[in-house]
Structure formats: structure tokens, C-alpha cells
Structure 1
Amino acid sequence: MTRSAAVSDGRTRAADGNGNANEFTFWREHTNINLSPVAAPSVLGLWGFAVSTFMVAANIAGWYGNDTTTPLVLAPMAFAFGGIAQFLAGMWSYRARDALATGIHGAWGSFWIAYGIYHLLVALGIVPGTATSPVAATAFGFWFIGLAAITWIGAFAAMAENLAVSLVLLTLAAGSTLLAIGLIGGFGGVEIAAGWTLVASAGVAFYTGSAMVLEATYKRVVLPMGKRGPEPNAPGAKPKEMIQFQAGEPGVKAGQ
């Protein structure tokens, strides 16, 4: 059958009284899908988050450094790796059609960019730092109210797909909530607890990002992540290469 005949036949079938069902079948049979696979953007996003959060949270927890000089030294790395790299991971997550990764990496990448800019302004003497100004500490604490709200929702959403990602977000949301309370209320002990909680989040994020990259390179599960659905989780198992049919798009796979 020629292309014109096929189109004509498709129009006839679409109008033969069965309506959308036949039209849908026709287009599925006559549509070519060219896939453009991408590496999992969350590998970069999780590692950027893990490194930046560990550096800053360990300082907040009192493991090293002080409240004035140390944050200024950490800010450039947090800006570049936690901010720019993670924000780009969020944007690349659009191509992977991963709404959760897009929202979380975009939000926290933006935070780390703002964190770097803020501490640059502190270093230049343009704005006061949180260690010397209670007003600045309160304002900085309000950053974490919105971030905590977004992250709690993300943690709940991740439970449907990946338990390791959900644990990253649960500890991150808890740490953000504690940090908001500590900064706004001036509770030093709560800030320290927030630092420890965020260090835990950084550790889980490093584990999850490492599990993703090891699975991609070894073509089998090395570190289980508690994936939900048909994907295998046992170490040594090979991931299933599924062709999904979502929203009438044959051959298009959503997610990472």
C-alpha cells in the first residue's frame, strides 16, 4: 500500500464509526519514534548535592572550622558543584521526563547558587553574615521553610519509585526543617542537630548516586536502591530494558 493510500485508509478507519480507537491504532502503526537516550542526570545531581551538603553540614554540626571564615571558603565549591552542576542536572532531567528530579535538583541547585552569591556579598561587606547578625540568621532561616516544604513533598513522591531517593529527601527535609527552626529561633543546639541530619542526607545521596553509576557501568545491580515496580533490586541482577507505552507514545521511556 502506498503512503497516500495508507493515509486515506487511516482517515477512513478513523471515520468508520469506531472513532478514536481506530485513529489511535492507525497512528501507532504509522509513526516512527527516534529515541535519544541520555545518561541519568541524577548521578551528577546527587553527587553535587552530596559533596556540597557534606562540607557545609559538617561545619554546621561543629565538626571543623568556625561560623565566619569557613562558610566563605566553602561557598565557591558549593556554588559550582552543588549549584550549577545540580541545577543543570535538573534541567537535563526534563529530557529524561523525570518530574521529581527536575523539581528537586532545580530547587536545591538554585539554593546552592544563591548560597554562593550570598556569601560572596558577605565577603564583600555588602550584607551581614548569619554568624554576626540575628536579623540575617532569621532571614536565612526563612530560605529553608520553602525548601523544606518542597522536599517533604518530593520525599513522599519518591516513595512510589525509589526508596533510596526517598530516604535522601526525608533526611534532607528533616534537616531543612530543623535548620529553619534553629536559625529563626536562635537555637544553637537545633542547628547542630540539623547539621548532623544533613550529613546523613549527604551520605545517602552519595550512596544513591554511586548505585546509579555502578549499575550503568556494570550493567547490573551493584548497590540496591529499593526501586519500586518491575526493576530488579538484588545485587547482581540485570536491569530490565523495557519499552514503555505511556500516553500513546510507543518506544518512549520516561524516567531515569
Structure 2
Amino acid sequence: MNTCLTCGIQVRRGESSPIPKGEVMAERRETSAHAAPGGRELEQDEYRMWEDRTRVFLQPVAAPSILGLFALAGATMMVGAWQADWYGNPTTPLVLFPFVLMFGGLAQFLAGMWSYRAQDGLATALHGTWGAFWLAWGLMWLMISAGVFPIELVPAFGETNAAFGFWFVPLAVITGFCAFAALGRNMMLTLVLAALAAAAGFTAAGFFAGSTWPLRIGGWLFVVSAAIAVYTAAAMMMENTVGRTVMPLFRTRRGKYVPEGPGPSRPLEYRYGQPGVKIGQ
């Protein structure tokens, strides 16, 4: 049996259609009282009401972050290694930008939009933000190669460029919040985002100060984050393909770092009238 990622409805392996509606509804009626959050009779009645009026569209979705993290890693690894002065010269981005624009930018941005469909707010923010950044980075170097970008405004290591430095400020802030949110998911994704946020911060500082050493540190951190992102994406892909954990992600208990308020907790999907819908990837 397979379970739809976005709606939680079970599908027999090898079939393209869900279990007959009668079987699903009968099973739901039998288990609704036990599945309702909380143990009070009122909540059980409300839960039955949500189930009776809910209609879910079956559309299985693979984990979008598999593509998103691979795309993030590919672009970040190449540009980060160049920024760390492992290879290349000032004209190297003219060779890199087509790959960065399409893979790190477009592919990752699409992964962010598919994450929205999977109701994964963290992945939507991460891949949407960094996908848009790499699209902008690639477009800038495309304009430079076409000769329509003022040469005196081209970012250069060791030179002050506050305007380009500001590109990395929102990246550092947003990615930092994403890293904090990822604590409720798994430690590998948290490490990816923490290193990525620090890399963006050092890169911003380097362009603000016109100093080279923060840029070199930022480049190293970009490479570190890319390496961890490759591992994380590969672990998710193996788990999706094999059906069990092959490469551990060191998952944390969801909601462990969120203080509980008074009264019983109620799942988000129940609150919004979507019983059985799985939130996220």
C-alpha cells in the first residue's frame, strides 16, 4: 500500500487509482472516534463532521526537496569553491552562469513551488528564496556577458560593493530563520541551513568592507553547506526509493522545541478541516 503525500489516502502498490471510496469511507467511520485529537465527546463529534464534509483530490507528490537540495548544492558548490579561490579567475562566472541560472536557479525555484503544493512551508521558503537568488545571479552575469551591465558595477573581490552586499543580507536572515525551523525536522537539514546562513553573512560582510578574507570564509562555508546538502538530498532519495532509512538524517521529534500551551494540542490538518492530509514532505 502507498500513501498519498498530500492527502494521506492509501493506494494499492502498482495501481493508479485509490482504494474504492466505499472501503475508505467505511474505514474512516470505524476509526474516526479513535483518530480524533483529544478525548472529549465534543471533539470527536467535530472530527466526524470534518470527515463527512471533506473531499480530498488525490495527487501523489514526490519530495520536492530532493531536487531542490541537489540544485542548491550544485550551484553553491561551484560558486563557493570559486569564491574560496580554489580555482578560476575573475571571468570564471561567465562560464558558470548558464548552469547556475538553470540548475541552481530555475530547477530549485520550481522545487520551491512544488514544495508549496506539498504544504511544506520550510522548503517553500528555502528553495523559493535561493532559487530566486541564483536566477538573479545568473541573469546579472548574462547581462555582463552581453555588455549591457555597467562594467564599473560588476562585483569584484577586495572591492567595496554595498549594493551587491545587500543581496546577501536577506539571504542570511531568511536562511537563519529556516535553520531554526529545521530543528523540528532533522539535524542534517539544520546544518545545511546554518552553514548557508553563515556563508551569506560572511559574503555580505566582505562586500560591505571591501575585504577578501570574509569572502574566502564565506566560500568555504558555501562548499560545506553544499556537501551536507548533497548528503541530505541523497538520504531523502534513498529513503523514497528503497522505502526505509539508508542514510540517517537524525530526525528530531516534530514540535519538540515549541512550548505547549494550555489544553490539548490539535493537528493543523484537523483545525483547517483536512483530516488525514499530511503536511510537508
Is 1:119 aligned with 2:119? Answer: no
The unaligned stretches of length 5 or more in structure 2 are: 1-40, 255-267
The 3-state SS of whatever aligns with 1:118 is: helix
Per-residue displacement from partner, 1:7-34 (whole Å, max 9, x unpaired)? xxxxxxxxxxx98874552342454434
Decide whether the 8 Å contact of 1:33 with 1:251 is kept in 2.
no
Change (3 A) 1:132 1:164: closer
| RMSD over aligned Cα atoms | 2.3
Secondary structure of 1:250's counterpart equals coil
Match of 1:229 in 2: 253
1:199 aligns with 2:199: no
Work out whether 1:154 is the aligned partner of 2:178: yes
The reply to whether residue 93 of structure 1 matches residue 115 of structure 2 is: yes
RCO greater where, 1 or 2, for CA within 8 Å and sep 6 or more? 2
Superposition deviation, residue 249 in structure 1: 1.8
Secondary structure class of the residue paired with 1:249: coil
Partner of residue 99 from structure 2, selected from 77, 84, 87:
77
Amino acid at match of 1:103: A
| Aligned 8 A contact 2:158 2:212 in 1 | no
CA distance in 2, matches of 1:200, 1:46: 13
Q: Where does 1:161-172 land on structure 2 (aligned, <5 Å)?
A: 161-172=185-196
Structure 1 residues 186, 218: closer, same or farther in 2, change over 3 A?
A: same
Contact kept? 1:33, 1:250, Cα under 8 Å: no
Matches within 5 A, 1:51-70: 51-67=74-90, 69-70=91-92
Measure, in 1, the Cα distance between the counterparts of 2:94 and 2:120: 34
What is residue 237 of structure 1 aligned with on the other side?
none
What is the distance in 2 between the residues matched to 1:252 and 1:116?
A: 38
How far 1:109 sits from its partner (Å)?
0.2
Partner of 1:46: 69
User: How many Å separate the matches in 2 of 1:27 and 1:138?
Assistant: 53
Q: Is the 8 A contact 1:35 1:251 kept in 2?
A: no
> Residue type of the partner of 2:208?
I
Q: Residues 67-109 of structure 1, C-alpha deviation per residue, up to 9 Å, x if partnerless? A: 2x10111011000000000000000001110001001100000
- 8 Å CA contact 2:113–2:124 kept in 1: the answer is yes
More off after superposition, 147-156 vs 244-253: 244-253
What is the Cα deviation at residue 196 of structure 1? 0.4
Secondary structure of 1:121's counterpart equals helix
**Structure 1 residues 59 and 211 mapped into 2: Cα distance closer, same or farther (>3 Å)?**
same
Partner of 1:8: none
Contact 1:87 1:105 (C-alpha < 8 Å) held by counterparts:
yes
Aligned length: 225
Residue segments in structure 1 that go unaligned for 5+ positions in a row: 1-17, 231-243
Task: Give TM-score, length-normalised by structure 2.
Answer: 0.75
**TM-score computed with the length of structure 1 as normaliser:** 0.82
Instruction: Specify the code of the residue in structure 2 equivalent to 1:100.
Output: L
Distance in 2 (CA, whole Å) between partners of 1:165 and 1:94 is 18
Q: Which amino acid aligns with 2:62?
A: A
Flag the 1:21–1:176 CA change in 2: closer, same or farther, 3 A.
Answer: same
Structure 1 equivalent of residue 31 of structure 2: none
- C-alpha distance in 2 between matches for 1:73 and 1:133: 21
Letter in 1 for 2:146: L
